[in-house]
């Protein structure tokens, strides 16, 4: 196990607390991978360098497990999780996350449409595998939560102005209790986007308990 929970921010660690066992491990891995790629894009620097790193990950993820390079903890963790979640194509999920961040590297102007595509790819790569592992029937709603999470997250952590995309968004159906970690992630990203305050943690804990 990569043991990277501590590298994630407090709201993400809170969300993980609402999952158990292998599914918690799966979400922690997906969020850690996403965080690794986000740093390549959001810390600035030459886009071509970032694209080279994305290309490296894309090459690794398209290889059979036995031919992947050794020594990278995320790759080792992927190999373990692929055996635990054989019904999920986790390499394909990670490729969606790579595509999401690579999309931003490829465009200097992050239009609403580019940001929407980015968010949908991250949702597909992070929220959907967890929804499938939880045997949720409504994966479309899971992806909608993930898309909204990614939009809030990107707007909070970058100069992207996504107010038009986020204002007036329709209320999503409530997820079942076993998927509360996902709705909690979305709520936490929204609070961060809005600026947050001392009440944010209380609101998140209340949602974790009640789903409201």
62-102 confidence digits (pLDDT tens): 999 999 998 899 999 999 999 999 888 999 999 999 999 99
Query: Tell me, what's the pLDDT at 157?
Result: 85
- DSSP-derived letter for residue 137 is S
Tell me the mean pLDDT in the region 2-11.
66
Q: What pTM, to 2 d.p., does this model score?
A: 0.91
Name the residue among 191, 194, 193 with its Cα closest to residue 206.
Answer: 191
Confidence label for 205 from pLDDT (cuts 50, 70 and 90):
confident
Query: Tell me, what's the pLDDT at 168?
Result: 54
Query: Tell me, what's the pLDDT at 3?
Result: 44
Whole-angstrom distance, CA of residue 143 vs CA of residue 120: 7
Give the C-alpha distances (Å, rounded to integers) separating 127 from 58, 99, 106.
Answer: 20, 15, 24
Confidence label for 4 from pLDDT (cuts 50, 70 and 90):
very low
Cα-atom radius of gyration of the chain, to the nearest Å?
17
Burial class (CB in 10 A: 0-12, 13-18, 19+), 157: middle
């Amino acid at each position: 196990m990569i043991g990277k929970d501590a590298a994630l921010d407090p709201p993400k660690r809170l969300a993980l607390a609402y999952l158990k066992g292998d599914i918690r491990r799966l979400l922690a891995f997906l969020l850690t991978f996403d965080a690794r790629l986000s740093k390549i894009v959001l810390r600035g620097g030459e886009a071509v360098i970032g694209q080279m790193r994305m290309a490296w990950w894309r090459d690794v993820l398209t290889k059979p497990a036995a031919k992947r390079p050794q020594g990278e903890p995320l790759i080792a963790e992927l190999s373990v999780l692929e055996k635990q979640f054989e019904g999920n194509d986790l390499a394909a999920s990670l490729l969606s996350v790579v595509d999401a961040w690579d999309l931003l590297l490829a465009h200097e102007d992050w239009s609403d449409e580019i940001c929407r595509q980015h968010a949908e790819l991250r949702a597909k790569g992070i929220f959907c595998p967890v929804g499938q592992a939880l045997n949720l029937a409504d994966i479309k709603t899971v992806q909608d939560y993930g898309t909204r999470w990614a939009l809030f997250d990107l707007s909070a952590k970058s100069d992207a102005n996504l107010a038009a995309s986020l204002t007036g968004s329709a209320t999503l159906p409530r997820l079942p209790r076993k998927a509360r970690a996902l709705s909690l992630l979305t709520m936490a990203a929204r609070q961060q986007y809005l600026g947050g305050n001392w009440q944010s943690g209380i609101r998140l804990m209340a949602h974790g308990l009640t789903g409201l």
